[in-house]
Amino acid sequence: MNVAGKLAYFGDLLLAQPGNLIAPLLFAIALFPALPKLRRPEAFPLLTVLLVLPFALLGALSATPSQIQYFYMLYPFFVLGTFFAVPLW
């Protein structure tokens, strides 16, 4: 299975079970208003989540074959990112 197939599997996981889409959407909605304020010192926890999230995605994509539990490790970071981004509004 190649990277495109693994990303398609993750997309299918999000679309087949719409409840899985809530955390990434809330994270994206909370992140966009906070983007201009990322250089402030109080944004450090959010920056940490933004730094860890790509590596968590890389870890989820590196396992073969892809399984649901590998992608679920992203969800705590989505929730933490949402909680850290909202106070920066």
Q: What is the pLDDT of residues 42-77, one digit of tens each?
A: 999 999 999 999 999 999 889 888 888 888 899 999
pLDDT of residue 48: 97
pTM, 2 dp: 0.86
The number of C-alpha atoms within 13 Å of 79 and in the hemisphere containing its C-beta is 6
The rounded distance, in Å, linking the Cα atoms of 78 and 2 is 25
The rounded distance, in Å, linking the Cα atoms of 44 and 71 is 25
